[in-house]
């Protein structure tokens, strides 16, 4: 029952722990053993073949999911993709290239700016509109030509968690479907990706086992007033999401930067009072990120590093290392946001804020 917290103190924690189950529900019927099942987009999935550009529009956490999808769509399908917050999109003149898919993301399907953006897009010359949404009866679903439901179940905590990871799952399905239908992805590569996706629920389950370790880290963190999150590639939007979670529920001022931008400004803020949180998956950008971390350490900054064991990082003077699970690169944004959700949750609990109902925020912003 969605309104029952069960064994948990807060809805947010319950929803964090529901992620293995709801991600499985999001994958159900959308992938076979080695392929994405394109009929999950409805009877007419011809847009997958015809699409030449993608415009993604959303707000808040949903916008961050869209930012991750840009990396996947450009990488897997080799199609240009832009991502924009709905409150900007709705008020500007937009150039729409031929055969562009208009893609909205929304947990509630009732966000005023996202609905206004969809209504505007319908006046423009788009190929079609697809909504990735959690609420089947929502206005966004009703007004969009196509829908892919995230199947996360009711989300009650204002800080979005399971809605985000299921949006990412649905976006990965979409990116693979487009790439496959456009001939940008070999059957072998598609099978590899789909195989990885089958292990997502188990990986998230495993990631949740770091809860106790992250709770410990959060105790050191709760007296801070500022924090800087760093990430590279698709982990940059995850850094943004980590910073947003921390602001929303613990009221700690937090920003996120692509790690390579550190030297273009934020480095000036780094001292012993400015903790840096970095998610460093073991990918091709690891060495670059390690050198960014050295820049921080050299200035006395306290580093909270989340990395897998192959990254060969460890606790050191000023470095607080938390091991995260090693997963296939494509899954990293989905799996590695979990430790950041847990971190913000535990910091908020230590600070004694109202985790499920943070001040000044609404679950769904239905008026402008
Ligand atoms: C509000 C919520 C956020 C959410 C955003 C977009 O700001 O507090 O958690 O990400 O709206 O909501 P949507 O329902 O469109 O995803």
The model's pLDDT over 158-213, given as tens digits with 9 standing for 90+, comes to 999 999 999 999 999 999 999 999 999 999 999 999 999 999 999 999 999 999 99
- If you average pLDDT over residues 218-230, what whole number do you get? 90
Asked if residue 365 has its Cβ within 6 Å of ligand 1, the reply is yes
The model's pLDDT over 10-45, given as tens digits with 9 standing for 90+, comes to 999 999 999 999 999 999 999 999 999 999 999 889
CA–centroid distance, residue 28 to ligand 1 (Å): 25
User: Counting atoms of ligand 1 from 1, which one is nearest the CA of 362?
Assistant: 8
Provide the pLDDT for residue 296.
Answer: 77
Confidence of residue 284 (pLDDT cuts 50, 70, 90): low
Count helices and strands in the chain by DSSP H and E runs: 14, 10
- If you average pLDDT over residues 146-166, what whole number do you get? 96
CA–centroid distance, residue 59 to ligand 1 (Å): 6
Asked if pLDDT for residue 98 goes beyond 80, the answer is yes
Sign of CA dihedral 81, 87, 88, 91: positive
CA–centroid distance, residue 361 to ligand 1 (Å): 9
Residue whose token pair is 């010359």: 125
Asked if residue 364 has its Cβ within 6 Å of ligand 1, the reply is yes
Asked if residue 133 has its Cβ within 6 Å of ligand 1, the reply is no
CA–centroid distance, residue 277 to ligand 1 (Å): 24
The model's pLDDT over 53-70, given as tens digits with 9 standing for 90+, comes to 999 999 999 999 999 999
The model's pLDDT over 286-334, given as tens digits with 9 standing for 90+, comes to 777 677 777 777 877 788 989 888 877 777 777 888 989 999 999 999 9
Asked if pLDDT for residue 285 goes beyond 80, the answer is no
ipTM given for this complex? 0.98
> What's the rounded Cα separation, in Å, for the pair 252 and 99?
43
Asked if residue 357 has its Cβ within 6 Å of ligand 1, the reply is no
Number of other residues whose CB lies within 10 A of the CB of residue 32:
10
Top-confidence range, 93-97, 314-318, 357-361: 93-97
What percent of the chain clears pLDDT 90, i.e. is strictly above it? 76
Query: In terms of pTM, does the model score above 0.90?
Result: yes
Confidence of residue 1 (pLDDT cuts 50, 70, 90): low
Distance linking the first and last C-alpha atoms of the chain? 31
Provide the pLDDT for residue 18.
Answer: 97
Asked if residue 60 has its Cβ within 6 Å of ligand 1, the reply is yes
> What's the rounded Cα separation, in Å, for the pair 271 and 274?
6
The model's pLDDT over 235-252, given as tens digits with 9 standing for 90+, comes to 999 999 999 999 999 999
Q: Which residues contact 7 (CB under 8 A, 6 or more apart)?
A: none
pLDDT mean across residues, the chain:
93
Which residues are known to be catalytic?
363
Provide the pLDDT for residue 327.
Answer: 93
Q: Hey, whose CA ends up nearest to atom 15 of ligand 1?
A: 106
CA–centroid distance, residue 302 to ligand 1 (Å): 31
Asked if pLDDT for residue 81 goes beyond 70, the answer is yes
Sign of CA dihedral 40, 83, 168, 164: negative
Provide the pLDDT for residue 273.
Answer: 83
> What's the rounded Cα separation, in Å, for the pair 224 and 360?
21
Q: Hey, whose CA ends up nearest to atom 5 of ligand 1?
A: 60
Under DSSP, is residue 176 helix (H, G, I), strand (E, B) or coil? Answer: helix
Q: Hey, whose CA ends up nearest to atom 2 of ligand 1?
A: 363
């Amino acid at each position: 029952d969605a309104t029952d917290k069960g064994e948990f103190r807060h809805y947010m924690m319950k929803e964090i722990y529901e992620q293995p189950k709801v991600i499985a529900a999001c994958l159900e019927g959308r992938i076979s053993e080695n392929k994405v099942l394109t009929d999950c987009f409805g009877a007419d999935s011809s847009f997958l073949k015809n699409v030449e550009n993608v415009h993604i529009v959303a707000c808040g956490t949903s916008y961050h999911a869209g930012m991750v999808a840009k990396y996947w769509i450009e990488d897997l399908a080799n199609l240009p993709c832009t991502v924009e917050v709905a409150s900007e999109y709705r008020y500007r003149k937009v150039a729409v290239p031929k055969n562009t898919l208009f893609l909205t993301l929304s947990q509630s399907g009732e966000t005023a700016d996202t609905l206004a953006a969809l209504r505007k897009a319908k006046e423009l010359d788009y190929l079609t509109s697809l909504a990735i949404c959690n609420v089947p009866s929502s206005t966004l679903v009703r007004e969009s030509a196509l829908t892919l439901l995230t199947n996360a179940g009711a989300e009650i905590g204002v800080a979005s968690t399971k809605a985000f990871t299921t949006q990412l799952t649905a976006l990965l399905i979409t990116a693979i479907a487009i790439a496959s239908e456009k001939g940008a992805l070999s059957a072998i590569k598609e099978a590899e990706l789909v195989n990885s996706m089958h292990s997502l629920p188990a990986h998230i389950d495993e990631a949740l086992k770091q809860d106790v370790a992250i709770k410990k880290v959060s105790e050191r963190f709760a007296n801070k007033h500022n924090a800087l999150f760093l990430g590279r590639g698709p982990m940059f939007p995850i850094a943004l999401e980590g910073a947003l979670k921390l602001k929303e529920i613990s009221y700690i001022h937090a920003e996120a930067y692509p790690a390579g931008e550190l030297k273009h400004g934020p480095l000036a803020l780094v001292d012993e009072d400015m903790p840096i949180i970095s998610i460093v998956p073991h990918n091709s950008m690891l060495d670059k990120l390690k050198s960014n971390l050295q820049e921080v350490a050299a200035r006395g900054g306290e580093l909270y590093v989340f990395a897998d064991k192959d990254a060969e990082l460890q606790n050191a003077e000023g470095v607080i290392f938390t091991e995260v699970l090693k997963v296939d690169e494509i899954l990293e944004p989905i799996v590695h946001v979990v430790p950041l959700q847990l971190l913000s949750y535990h910091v908020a609990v230590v600070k004694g804020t109202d985790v499920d109902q943070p001040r000044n925020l609404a679950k769904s912003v239905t008026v402008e």
